[in-house]
Structure formats: structure tokens, C-alpha cells
Structure 1
Amino acid sequence: MSASLEKPYGSWESPITADLTASATVSLGQIALNGKIIYWTETRPHEGGRCVIVCQTEDGKIKDINPAPYSAKSRVHEYGGGAFLATADSVFFSNFEDQRIYRQKLEADPKPITPEGNYRYADAVFDQQRNRLICVREDHSQKGAEAINTLVAISLEDQGSISVLASGADFYASPRLSPDGNALAWLSWNHPNMPWDGTELWLAQVDKAGNLAQEQSVAGSREESIFQPEWSPGGVLYFISDRNGWWNLYRWYQGSVAAVIQMEAEFGLPQWIFGQSTYAFTAADRIICTYSSHGISHLAVIDPASCSLKEIKTPYIAMSALRANSEQVVFIAASPTEFSAIVQLDLATEGLKVLQRSSEMTLDPGYLSIAQALEFPVADGVSAYGFFYPPKNKDFSAPAEDERPPLLVISHGGPTGAAHNALELKIQYWTSRGIAVLDVNYRGSSHYGRAYRQQLKGQWGIVDVDDCISGALYLVQQGGADPKRLAIRGSSAGGFTTLAALTFRGVFKAGASYYGVSDLEALAKETHKFESRYLDWLIGPYPAQADLYIARSPIHAVDKLSCPTIFFQGLEDKVVPPDQAKAMVNALRKKKLPVACIFFEDEQHGFCKAENISRALTAELYFYAQVFGFSLADEVEPIVIENL
């Protein structure tokens, strides 16, 4: 075996290029089953971010359903999800361009069934008895007014006529019909709550005319989050609640709530998008589920009668979007060495089969950094968590034993999101070049229980920043990072944490903000309905506590920022408006600090197009090389770094 070449950290040549990172993978999403037919979505960067519904037929053939230019993406809550529904003879989907629902009968062209107008739809179910869809509708038709969310029924017989079934709450989700079609369950919540703070589970009878009657709230409150109501084949309503401090499984039976599984583990998820699923029935007395413990996913079978759980061993550590019927379980899964994939569990043979991978790329393990789970102290005996990826490239090593690598700390979005340690090219892009990565699950992250999430209440911009800094300094103390070359990056809410860390603390020497928040007061005034009161919880009620918004906003404390920063922003972003990034860039220019920025005209909140993802990665790498003084093995298109 040949010896590795000695080159400085950051200068290693890697086969994991930006173009591969951007275009070699697709994003796998919603799964649906119809007998033996399996459907899922693929968001394809090489098709400009188009979301394609894909089908595996009974004979095992895989084909696309919605032809170009149709893209199955809902914009309800801006984040979407729950964008398609499959029935015996049709697929219904929300088309991104006009947000109308289209019906596509197999081997036919899509036809719109909802009227033109400023409406959005998501999370539909099929009411077979009445030949209609029931779904969430978001009405943006009144200019200058807040969008109106309702549950509606869409007739498939009467030229798509629409009737409102439930209204009055600020938000709705998860309409679910009982097996006999005579009862409907759904979730609702109101400002200022987000769905992971508190929701209500409602139950109503569906009368002969198709209207709701005898409505009752059966679980949930402003302090209890309900997730994924689901009917058993026998007509019992199940749901997930965090009433005991963890998202665990319950059922509503004979007028009362009963626990099914009680564990210090998370069976639920923060409902940023519609249509998420962590459990499903394979029989009236058998449930297959995924749950998370300390950031690692597990697959298990639940016996509702005995309220017992038995784990099913798999090679995967991240699992989601689980659907099942009496013959099969299908879910998205990934491992530290395998890209995410659509995986099928055959209930007859108990065998696992990969149906479709997010990437067909094969990587030599010699270039893969396997994450080390970290728990590190942050304050007053409290710990935070993360995954540390040391530099890894079989062809290269550092020229001196005592040299420490640059460290890139990742602050995830949400901020209720969660880092995992499944294979991600966007992390291996850095580690294979000699740059260590720490992906932080700061206080407020999911997967560690409600109490851990609640530690961020009123403390956004404080404890998340502290935890990112504590993680970086912990690795410096352990000899895993160079204290003079610490950088932080984040997107959306993670972009705010990044900018706050760079502005108010002097630990990091460079940073990258992807569509991050710099002005909290402007965000409170300008953002969309779903998150318009989120800051009440994260910071405090606005405008009553406007002083806190100003005090924690990087834009109002640029005089404290003293390190180079790069900004990436989509100009069509409705979640974090582009003015936030522009204002920060202008302020840094006036202060004569090193600053770079790239604005993408055709991107929204989160970049979808391969060429833009690739350009952002290479620009960020070039930026760190210039700031930290290492040469690049890649030929990278230079960017303008002002004041460097």
C-alpha cells in the first residue's frame, strides 16, 4: 500500500467534487402505497429542483408519473409536504407553478381539478364514499391580509366544487378518515404556537351530506404537541403525543386516552412539512414504527394489545417517511456509509430490499469520514450533542503530527431540526479535503425530548450560540481542531445562529450564512403566516419586547463583528427576505470587513438547482482558503471578497 502524500489540511485533492455533491443525488420524499404499487417523490437538482412522483409497478418496473414541467410541490406553510395522493386509478398532486391540484389518471396527461386563484393545497386524503378529496387549503386571495387556512372537501364529480369542512383555527393538518368513512380526525393549532409546541386533535362524525358533526377535542393543548393521527384497520384512533415529555404513542378508545408505548425516545417529529409518518399498521394488532434515541433511528414492531415493542435490526441509523400495508413496509433509510434510499421490508420473508437510491455513486471508504457521536458540557451541568467528522482522505495526511485541522461547525436550521450521522456528500466534501466538521444538536433540537427543545424558549441567539461555541472549544481541547481556524456555517435559522456567533462572540474566525436572519425585528414584521409568531416563543412577544429583538440582531451590532463572512441568498425567498442579507453585506462593507455575497435570482428558501448548489459550495471553499491561507487542490472559480 502506497504512503499518503503530506499536504496541509484544506489542500487535499478529493473525488467528491462540488458538481457531484450538487447533482449526483436526488432528495427522496413522500411515500405512498396502493396495494403492491409503491410511490415516492424525488426532488432532482439536475432538473432545476423539479419534484417528480415515481412509481414502482407490480412487476417491479420504475417509472416517472408527472411529466415535465409539472412539479409536485405544495407551498402551504411555504415548506409544503403532503403534495400528492395515490388512489386506485389516479394520482392527485399540487403543482408547484400554479398550486392547483391536478388529477393524473395512469398513462394520461395531468388535468387541473381546482380553480385558478391564489390558493394552495396539501395533505389530501381520498373520501371514497363521497368521491372527493379532503385536504388543507391555504387561501391567499385577500391582498394584504393573513392567509386563511381551512379543511376543505373537493368534489371529483361536481367540477371540483369546494366546500369548507372546518375553519376558525389558524392552522390545520393531518385530516384522516376512519376506515368506514364515517369519522374524520385532524389537527389544529393557533398563534403563537408552532405545531411542536402545542396542537389539538379533533374528532368528528361525517354525516350523510358529508358535513362534520359532533366535533370534539380529544387530546392536545397549548402545551401538548400531537403528531400523526392514524386509524387502525379496526377503527381505533391512534396518535403521538409529548404529554409525558417525549413523543410517544397513544390511542383514543371508548372516550379516553390510553398510552400504548412509553419510552424516553421520540416517535414524533417537528411538523415543518405535511405528510410525515413514523408508524403504520400492517394488521389490526401490529404496528411497524421508527423512533429516535439520542439522534439515532430505530425500526421496531409494536403489539398494541400488550403495549410492547421489539426492535427490528437493520443497518440503518436514519429512517423516515414510513408507510405500510399487510404485505410490506416502505421507508427512507440511510447509514453512515450508504446514501439515503427507498427501502422495502417484505413482511413475509422479513427481508430488506433497496428499491431506489438517492445516488448511484459509489464512494471508496478511504474517502469517507464516519461521525463520532459527541456529548459535551455547555452550562450548569447541562450537556449538548453533536456529530464530529474528522478529516479523512486515504491519499493525504498532514505534514506535521502536531498540526490541527480547520473546523467547520454546522448550525442546523429550524431551529428545531436535528443533525444525524447518515452519509451526506455535503459533509464529506469538506472532510475529504482536510477540514473537520462538527454538526451540532444544540439545545432546542429535536430527538432529545420536549425538555431539551424547551431549553431554547426565549433563548434563541444565546443557548444555540453557546452550544456551537462549546462544541468547537471542546474539540480544540481534545486536539481535534485548530483554534485559529474555526469557522461556522448555517442556513435559515442556522444562519441566524451563525451570524449571532460571529457578531457577539469572538471564537470563530470566519463564517457562511445561507439565507440567514440578521434582523429579528424585520423578520417579525415581514415573514409568512406559519412562522409569523414563532419569534414570540424563541425570543419574546413582539412588539412588547422589541428591545430584545434589537439587542440580539446582528444587523444592530455590526461594530462587534470582526471576522470575514460570506452570504448566500435566493432572491425569491419568502421565508427570510433577501433584504436581510443585503443589509448585512452593506453594513460590513461600510465597516471595511472582509465580506462576500452571492445572490441567486431563481432560488427560494433552500437551494434546489444543481448549478447553484455547486457554485455555493465552491465559493465557500474558496472563501475559507483565502481567509485561512491554504491552497486549493481544486480549480475553483474565484469570487470577489471585498476588503480582504
Structure 2
Amino acid sequence: MQRTELAASATGVFWLESDPVSGGNVIMTLEAGVGIPLLSRSFSARSQVNGYGGGALCAGPESVFAVEASGQQVYHIDTATGACSPLTDDDACYGGLSWDAAHHRVLAVREANGRQQLMGIALTDSESANCILHESEDFYSAPTVSADGRHLAWVSWSLPDMPWVASVLWTASIQRDGSLTQARRWPSPSKGSVQQPIFDGDDVIVLSDHEGWWQPWRLASSGQWHLLDGTREDHASAPWQLGERHHQCLPDGGWVRVRYQAGVGQLWLCSGNEETGVRIAREYVDFRCLVVQGQRVLCIARSSTRLDTVLSVDWATGHAEPLSGGEEPFPEMTLSQPELFSVPTSAGGGDPVSGFFYPPMLFASVRKSVPVILIAHGGPTSTAYPVLNLQTQFWCHQGFAVAEVNYRGSSGFGRAFRMALAGSWGQVDVADMERAARWLVANKAVDPARLFIQGRSSGGYTALLAMVQTDVFAAGASQFGVSDPRRLRAMTHRFESGYLDWLLGSPDDCPDNWQQRSPLAQADRLCRPMIFFQGAQDRVVVPQQTTAIVNALRRNGGSPEVYVYPDEGHGFRKQSNVADMLERLLRFYRRQSTDQ
């Protein structure tokens, strides 16, 4: 059960919780210390802005505001009565919600007809009408208002860039009627990606990677940039979704921040009378959605052994306690624990590629070597974290080891490591998966004849190319994976419309890349067993991607397995479908293990 999108105000604490039956996101709140649904479970909150959403929930002093999943409109929810009414009524999608206390409205990113706008959304008809605050940029995120209500900050970026390649901080003054004036760009001292601006008085604190890492910087009203923390670690993850919050200022002048080290999230706290911070809540390995509520900091915390936790931290003492969640999914069962591993990218050294190895919990004592499933995360500019994953535990309790690999291009390891994927997708990621496999054979007693590879979305692309380009893996699994980058480029949504050219080079300048790194174009070289899973409603990697390569493999005499789920999109959400996929994958891997 996944918990996301935390919001809090004087009216309470609220978060989204996935419903494994329907696949929707239920708005939850606390009542007498127990998490309960705020509304009927039929109301699902999810944004579709940029295709990946985020920021579908925010809280005001007496109300909660949420983006309803099916219609993508913003709703006002009275927390006292449960009354729910729409604030918008159009054909747009909304996301990135935040509360503007000074002007008693919701700020949001609006997406319609291939354009985005920064919006102010009024709560009642008697107040000023919904208004466009800014609309000259291609993309918007992270609108935030200063405490005195006089200033607004946000982040924008322009095609063909992705937000983790190049983005810009903006500020503006807010007039008494709520409109903006003196809107101004604040480019970082050198090219970089900025995210998550917050106000500290009139100054803006933003996470910028223009010196190599997403670090906190203070932009003074004079325009000077000042580094606040020189720790050479990323203080945020790649901003695939709107509404992420990895740092906050505290009322006493201190701060709370997340740092990532080798894929592990750490929570650091500094009170106003201290010069350096201390690490707290060490039993958790990832932290999201930080928000200050009175004397405490709230966040969604994840661990390797428990389900997602709504965590409360007393910022004066550093004491942390769970408010909801944190359940042990199987109290009677011993879980496989992640072991960090690291392997050089080449014999001569270079950036190490790391990951997390999960040893099998079944048969490990009676077999000299075990089968292993290497997992290429999606994105591909994303990250594998050592958090509890019930699918990973499923494999470990079926006698398989699992290795999740943070290949070059993953986020959380600095800008240079992330940018290594530029023009090299289908090369460095595949090479790193192969090196990880060989390292595991040499160091973790896994069976070289039973190395399997699987991935979701772009991870499926990496898995397919690994099956084409190397002879290391005995079989592979593609879960709604990319098979034809050229066709994806022609059909992809606006957010990623320049991403493939960044990953592979433009087709005009680098035509060989698009041929040699296309699993579909190289399908005649894919001779070992493959299994495919696809959602029929997938709008990111459309079903034709899977259909095309399956047909190509069959024309070449192969017999790939393929399973299509009519009620799933990009990422399977329904419990019954996930269970069916795991059962079919298990039979597939066992059959390949027996055939060796």
C-alpha cells in the first residue's frame, strides 16, 4: 500500500493512499490517531499534468483541495462536513496545487491544448474569478507564496529540455487584486536545474545543481546566489512529478532537508541555534512531501521493512514518531534485506555503478548458486531506492535473488552521473546492467546460467536491448517497455517530446543510433525467451509498441509470451492484475531455470 502526496494545515493532516482493489488514490486523514478516508473511496485523487501528475492535494485552514482523477478538475472539500464541490469546470488538467493564504485561493498548473498556465483558483463565485497568473513559458511547477503574501516564486522550463536538464527560477510581486507584476527570471550562475523554491522572508531558497549537485541555495533580494550546504550530495530526486518537497525552513531559523547517498535518503535537521545539522529517523531510507505544521515536520517516510509511514518529527528535539502506516506487511515472515553493492564501470575505474542486492529467502541454504533477476528501473532518469517492495519480496521468497541497479543516468548521484545518459541511452545503461550481472556472478554466488533481466517502461527498453546486445541473460521480461524509439518519438506526449532526442541524439544528426538502439529494428538478434506485459490504456508507451515487437519476434520464428490487461494504463495499479502478472512471470522464470 503506497502513501503519497502529504498535505497539512490547521484543519488536519491529509495524504493519498493507494487502493489496491480499484487502483485509485483515496484521500486519508487522522481521526483519534487512526487513518480514515476523508471521502468515499469512489473519489480518487490523481493529476495527469505532464502525464505523470503530482501535486493533486493541498490543504487550507478549513478545507482540502484535490484533483479528481477521472475529470482532472480541482475540488473543494469541507473537512468538517465532507461537502465536495468543483472549483473548475473545463477540459484542462490541473496539478501542482498549493495554498495561497494571503489571497484565499489555490495556485495550480493548468494544462490544456498543448499549453500550460500558472493559475489562481478562487474558492467561491463571489470572489475574484479564476485568473491566469503567468503563461509565457512551456512548463510550470512549484508555485509558492511568501509568508506576507507579497511575492510568488515558481520554476519553469522550455522544450526540448526536461526539468532535470535545465530550468529557471522565477519570482513576481503579487498585487492586492491577486494578479502578478514585476515577473522576473533568475537564471542560476551557470546552466543547471532548479526545483522546489521556498521563501525565507523575502529571500528564496531553491535546490539547484549548477555546481554539480542539487544543493540548497539562497537567492537574496539583491540577486546574489549563496550556497547554504556544500555537501556534495543531491538534496532531491529528479522532478518527474509536480509537488515534491525535500526541504523546508523552520520557524526558529533552522531547516530540515533530505540528502541522497548511494540511493539512500537521509533526513537532516538543524535548529536555529546550530551551525550544522544532525541526521535523524535513521530507520527510514527515503523521505518525501516535507511540510511544517506547528511544532512538527510531517513527511512520507519509507523503509526497507515496513509500508509507507506518515511520520511526525518534533523539530525542536528531533524525535520522530509514526502517525499512520508503517505496518509490517507479513509479521510472521522474515524479509530479504537490501545489500548495497558497487562495481566500477570499467576495469580502469570511472563512476561506480551501484545497486541493491536482495538475497533469496528460499532454497539459499541448499543451492550453491541461485537465479537472479536484475531490474532496470524506469525513467530512465529515475532511481532504485532500498525501500520495501512487495514484488521484490515475492521473488526472494520464491528462491530468486533480486538486484536493482542504478545505472549511469540515474538521479541522486549528481548532475554528471545523471547527464551521462545524454546521447548514450541503450549503451551505458545496458553496459552497466551487464557489468552488474558479471559482478554478481563473481561476488554473490548467483548462477551465471540463470541471469534474468526485466524492466518497466524505459527499463523494459534497457532489458530488451540487453537481450539483443549481450549473451549474459538467459531470458527477459518487458513490462510496458519501449521497443520502437522512433515511433515513440512521433506519438509521445508534450512533456517528453524532446527527451528522446536528448537520449539518442536527433534522428537527423544521429540516424545510426535510432537504428542500432531500436529493439524492434534488431528483433532478429533477440533469440532467447521473452515475456511481455502491457496495459491496453497506456498513453505513454502505447500498446502498439509491444504488439510490434511481439509480431516481429514471431515472424522470426520466436514464441514470446504476451499478456495485455484491458483496464490498466502506464503502470499496473490493480491488485488482481499485479498478482496475475507475478504468477505468469514466476512460471516463465521457473521454466527457463528448468531448461538450463
Match of 1:109 in 2: 83
The structure 2 residue matched to 1:83, chosen from 56, 70, 73, is: 56
Do structure 1's residue 389 and structure 2's residue 362 form an aligned pair? no
Match of 1:165 in 2: 133
TM (normalized to structure 2)? 0.95
Matched residue type, 1:565: M
User: Structure 2 matches for 1:236-635, cutoff 5 A?
Assistant: 236-255=203-222, 256-302=224-270, 308-312=276-280, 314-347=282-315, 350-357=318-325, 359-364=327-332, 367-379=334-346, 380-382=348-350, 383-393=352-362, 396-397=363-364, 399-400=366-367, 403-629=368-594
Match of 1:93 in 2: 66
- The one-character-per-residue Cα deviations of 1:318-338 (angstroms, maximum 9, x if unpaired) are 222222233111122233323
1:606 CA displacement: 0.5
Distance (Å, rounded) in 2 between the aligned partners of 1:27 and 1:582: 31
Distance (Å, rounded) in 2 between the aligned partners of 1:309 and 1:398: 43
Structure 2 counterpart SS, 1:330: strand
Distance (Å, rounded) in 2 between the aligned partners of 1:416 and 1:148: 24
Q: 1:175 touches 1:185 (CA, 8 Å); kept in 2?
A: yes
The sequence identity of aligned pairs, in percent, is 34
User: Structure 2 matches for 1:92-241, cutoff 5 A?
Assistant: 92-106=65-79, 107-115=81-89, 117-140=90-113, 147-158=114-125, 161-220=129-188, 223-232=191-200, 234-241=201-208
Distance (Å, rounded) in 1 between the aligned partners of 2:131 and 2:510: 41
1:251 CA displacement: 1.0
Distance (Å, rounded) in 1 between the aligned partners of 2:575 and 2:518: 32
Distance (Å, rounded) in 2 between the aligned partners of 1:327 and 1:208: 31
Distance (Å, rounded) in 1 between the aligned partners of 2:206 and 2:411: 18
Match of 1:35 in 2: 10
Match of 1:44 in 2: 19
- The one-character-per-residue Cα deviations of 1:435-490 (angstroms, maximum 9, x if unpaired) are 11111000011111111111111100000000001000111122521111111000
Distance (Å, rounded) in 1 between the aligned partners of 2:445 and 2:392: 16
Mean Cα deviation higher: 336-345 or 597-606: 336-345
Distance (Å, rounded) in 2 between the aligned partners of 1:222 and 1:514: 38
Matched residue type, 1:431: C
1:220 CA displacement: 3.4
Match of 1:16 in 2: none
Distance (Å, rounded) in 2 between the aligned partners of 1:446 and 1:303: 29
Q: CA 1:173 to 1:566, structure 2 compared with 1: closer, same or farther past 3 Å? A: same
Q: 2:73 touches 2:87 (CA, 8 Å); kept in 1?
A: yes
Q: CA 1:222 to 1:118, structure 2 compared with 1: closer, same or farther past 3 Å? A: farther
1:127 CA displacement: 2.6
Match of 2:39 in 1: 66
Matched residue type, 2:403: L
Q: CA 1:136 to 1:221, structure 2 compared with 1: closer, same or farther past 3 Å? A: farther
TM (normalized to structure 1)? 0.88
1:360 CA displacement: 4.9
Matched residue type, 1:194: M
1:132 CA displacement: 2.4
Distance (Å, rounded) in 2 between the aligned partners of 1:348 and 1:475: 44
Q: 1:563 touches 1:594 (CA, 8 Å); kept in 2?
A: no
Bigger relative contact order, structure 1 or 2 (CA pairs below 8 A, ≥6 apart):
1
Q: 2:10 touches 2:62 (CA, 8 Å); kept in 1?
A: no
Q: Give me the CA root mean square deviation.
A: 2.0
Distance (Å, rounded) in 1 between the aligned partners of 2:490 and 2:202: 44
1:630 CA displacement: 7.7
Structure 2 counterpart SS, 1:250: strand
Distance (Å, rounded) in 1 between the aligned partners of 2:8 and 2:444: 49
Q: CA 1:397 to 1:190, structure 2 compared with 1: closer, same or farther past 3 Å? A: closer
Structure 2 counterpart SS, 1:588: helix
- The one-character-per-residue Cα deviations of 1:93-122 (angstroms, maximum 9, x if unpaired) are 11111111111112233211111x320111
Give 5+ residue unaligned stretches, structure 2: none
Matched residue type, 1:553: S
Matched residue type, 1:343: L
Structure 2 counterpart SS, 1:616: helix
Give 5+ residue unaligned stretches, structure 1: 1-25, 141-146, 632-644
Q: 1:227 touches 1:269 (CA, 8 Å); kept in 2?
A: no
1:89 CA displacement: 1.7
Structure 1 counterpart SS, 2:541: coil
1:289 CA displacement: 1.5
1:169 CA displacement: 1.3
Distance (Å, rounded) in 1 between the aligned partners of 2:557 and 2:162: 40
Q: CA 1:348 to 1:249, structure 2 compared with 1: closer, same or farther past 3 Å? A: closer
Q: 1:282 touches 1:327 (CA, 8 Å); kept in 2?
A: no
- The one-character-per-residue Cα deviations of 1:563-598 (angstroms, maximum 9, x if unpaired) are 111111111111111100011111111122231011
Q: CA 1:108 to 1:363, structure 2 compared with 1: closer, same or farther past 3 Å? A: closer
Distance (Å, rounded) in 1 between the aligned partners of 2:220 and 2:137: 25
Distance (Å, rounded) in 2 between the aligned partners of 1:408 and 1:275: 33
Matched residue type, 1:199: S
Distance (Å, rounded) in 2 between the aligned partners of 1:334 and 1:126: 26
- The one-character-per-residue Cα deviations of 1:364-408 (angstroms, maximum 9, x if unpaired) are 45x322121111122241221111112123xx44545xx311110
Distance (Å, rounded) in 2 between the aligned partners of 1:540 and 1:185: 33
